[in-house]
């Protein structure tokens, strides 16, 4: 996959693509995808600006539609979305122990902090599934890889999004740092390697199981198939 240009035009960043921002702005993104988009937007000023433009355009569009033709459901969803965002901001207050390293949209999903999660994995790689309120075909999880170690070499049976929260990693397609999104699909096989200067922590959204390659994949498969 080729790196996607950012709204600001810089070459070495990996923002989320506009289609995901559009779904998020419209309130149609499934919960795990919405969490990842919101977390990315919290970390990436260019995507935050792009989302603001989309939301402004969406508001203008709503205003130009005659009231009788506005779909009540769509309006309710848009308003509910605002409620959720505001509620998310309130929940980011330190009423519960949350990891200060996590962006606000993610904190409700990790209320006790990253180290209190149930981590599973082998060989310097581990994953913790994050429970969602809604049933979707997507899996939301945190993955972490020790400094200089590799994610298992794998292919995909559906979409995979990796958002870097801490550290960085490289794969065959680029170098990803905090706030960057690595988007893969069925056509992609890769072996991300964490940067040597520290642990890499990512938020992951996957649809369909990943296909692990090699011995580590054989060892890891039974862990990762369990929810
Ligand atoms: Zn992958």
Q: How far is the CA of 80 from the centre of ligand 1 (A)?
A: 32
Residue 204 above 60 pLDDT? Answer: yes
Q: How far is the CA of 156 from the centre of ligand 1 (A)?
A: 6
Q: How far is the CA of 111 from the centre of ligand 1 (A)?
A: 26
Greatest pairwise CA separation for the chain in angstroms: 61
Residues with CB in 5 Å of ion ligand 1: 160, 184
CA distance readout (Å), 85 to 42, 66, 79, 93, 205: 12, 27, 10, 13, 20
Q: Taking all residues of the chain, what is their mean pLDDT, rounded to a whole number?
A: 80
Q: What is the pLDDT of residue 86?
A: 40
Residue 59 above 50 pLDDT? Answer: yes
**pLDDT band (50, 70, 90) for residue 63:** low
Q: What is the pLDDT of residue 6?
A: 42
Whether this prediction's pTM lies above 0.95 is answered by no
Q: How far is the CA of 13 from the centre of ligand 1 (A)?
A: 18
Q: How far is the CA of 212 from the centre of ligand 1 (A)?
A: 9
Q: How far is the CA of 206 from the centre of ligand 1 (A)?
A: 9
pLDDT tens, 9-27? 445 689 999 999 999 999 9
Burial of 218 (0-12, 13-18, 19+ CB in 10 A): exposed
pLDDT tens, 88-141? 443 333 233 346 668 999 999 998 899 899 999 888 889 999 999 999 999 999
pLDDT tens, 155-177? 999 999 999 999 999 999 899 99
| Of 1, 16, 3, nearest in space to 49 by CA | 16
Q: How far is the CA of 79 from the centre of ligand 1 (A)?
A: 34
Q: How far is the CA of 189 from the centre of ligand 1 (A)?
A: 7
């Amino acid at each position: 996959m080729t790196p996607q240009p950012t709204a600001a035009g810089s070459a070495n960043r990996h923002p989320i693509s506009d289609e995901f921002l559009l779904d998020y702005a419209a309130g149609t993104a499934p919960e795990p995808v919405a969490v990842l988009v919101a977390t990315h937007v919290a970390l990436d000023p260019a995507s935050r600006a792009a989302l603001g433009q989309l939301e402004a355009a969406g508001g203008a569009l709503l205003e130009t539609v005659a009231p009788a033709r506005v779909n009540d459901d769509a309006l309710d969803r848009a308003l509910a979305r605002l409620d959720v965002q505001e509620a998310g901001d309130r929940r980011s207050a330190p009423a519960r122990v949350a990891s200060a390293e996590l962006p606000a949209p993610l904190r409700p999903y990790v209320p006790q902090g990253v180290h209190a999660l149930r981590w599973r994995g082998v060989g310097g790689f581990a994953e913790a599934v994050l429970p969602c309120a809604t049933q979707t075909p997507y899996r939301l999880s945190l993955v972490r890889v020790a400094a200089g170690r590799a994610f298992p070499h794998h292919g995909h049976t559906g979409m995979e999004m990796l958002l870097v929260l801490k550290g960085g990693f490289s794969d065959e397609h680029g170098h990803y740092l905090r706030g960057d999104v690595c988007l893969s699909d069925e056509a992609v096989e890769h072996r991300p390697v964490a940067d040597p200067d520290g642990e890499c922590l990512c938020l992951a959204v996957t649809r369909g199981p990943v296909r692990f390659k090699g011995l580590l994949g054989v060892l890891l498969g039974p862990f990762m198939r369990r929810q």
